[in-house]
Chain A
Amino acid sequence: MIPLAWYLVFSIALFCIGLFGVLSRKNAVVILMGIELMLNAVNINLIAFWRYFFAGSSQQEPTRALAFVAIVFVAAAAEAAVGLALIISAYRRRETVVAEDMNLLKG
């Protein structure tokens, strides 16, 4: 019997590791990997809440949380695709993927 607390602490930890990755790495591709970790943490959170409260019930809709999770999956996939395309295109132009070096608009 696994209490809900374990899943929640796990998802918070995964989210914070992803956040650390986004805030502290130079390479843009690794920043994107951190974003994917954060989105996965959110998914775990949603599914844990679905399982512990709404899965077996027939009064509230058990599929509402699943629709939410499906949309998060889709959004993560779309954002990863476009983000990587942008990184590759910026690499072609500037020969670097270090996020600090893309500072043309800096005042």
Chain B
Amino acid sequence: MPVFPSDPYGFLTQWFNNLLLHQGLPETTVRLISFAVGSLILVLGSLLFCLLLIWAERKIGGRVQDRLGPNRVGPYGIVQAVADMMKIFTKEFVTPAGVDKVVYNLAPVLSVAAVIMIWAVIPFTITFFGTDLNVGVLYIVAVGGLAEMGIVMAGWGSNNKFALLGAFRAVAQLISYEVPMVVALLLPVMLSGSMKLSEIVRSQDVWYIITAPVAAAIFFITSLAENGRAPFDLMEAESEIVAGFNVEYSGLKFGFFFVGDFLHAFTIALLFSVLFLGGWRGPAADQIPILGFFYLGIKTAIVYFFGLLVRFSLPRFRIDQMMNLNWKMLTPLSLGILIATALVDKGSANLLSSMAPTARLIVRSIILVLANVLVVWSFSDIFDVALGKRPRPVVALEPRPVARPEQPPTPTEGGTP
């Protein structure tokens, strides 16, 4: 029987279910209603939490840039996000002529929906999660694909050539960076043996950031690129004056894109904590689930802070630099680390099965860290070439002269030369 202080979620769900069952409703309807109410609370909670995120981002960004952030609208400017929200609500929807109404209006909804749908599979504590899909990791990648559809619909539905070009570049960036992200996501799946997020959290006796640091770094970088945060924010600063695919959106529709962007940044931090930093694990989090929630919150806040630091420090990439970074550095590196980890993990299984559990953990972690270091050392050539420090080594010969048919002699008037 879950007690309220240690497991508020379990307590509340059981109380609510009992309330509905006493009214005489059948079991499946009770489950359906409880699912609907739970998802409504999750969505509202995440969207309202976004206000706090926007405030935190502006304050921290201000401090990084050696200025105070917003500090007028409340103590320390906390109410600033609410004021912005009210401003955005009351702005007029300027719809350009010739847009396709359904596509134009559906695009912001799809953008936000794709981010919120990720929250359905994240395990917040040992009992508090939306649903425990047995293909949870793949579901997260698939939902990211829906966000790309939202951008394409925004770009095309705006009846504007700049929006369309911006949407093309944005989608090219997103689908390019999906490849190393998926391969880097394979590593926690491989090390824990399951695609369920709760199983990945449960098998992190040693955090995966220690045993798969390269995969964690690749996942972080590619997630920043998928979100469109600086230094990858080509999507929203395309052409430097026109805002890319969301140029024709005003008022709350732009607010949707805005909220989706910030919520996605927090969701990336949440996913990174769940997959690589051990999720809700910590001392005594098994017995007292609410502690797990706090641990996850602290880890997510640290990762989010780190993402903010990256955002406010680095200048924007050009598109060819971004594509070089992806295809010439991240993809080979992610494939290399996948192969190395698979070999090391399976190759040492026999050796490890004959050890005591704690010794097995330590030895396995050391072996995996060594494998990561080996991969980074052997790929250091690629880093230098991709970052432009050294020119690509020429491995082909000089181009050979190509045989061309001789030019026919120009005809003279008939006389012999």
* Direct contact between the two chains A and B in their complex (CB within 8 A): no
Residues of B whose CB lies within 8 Å of any CB of A are: none
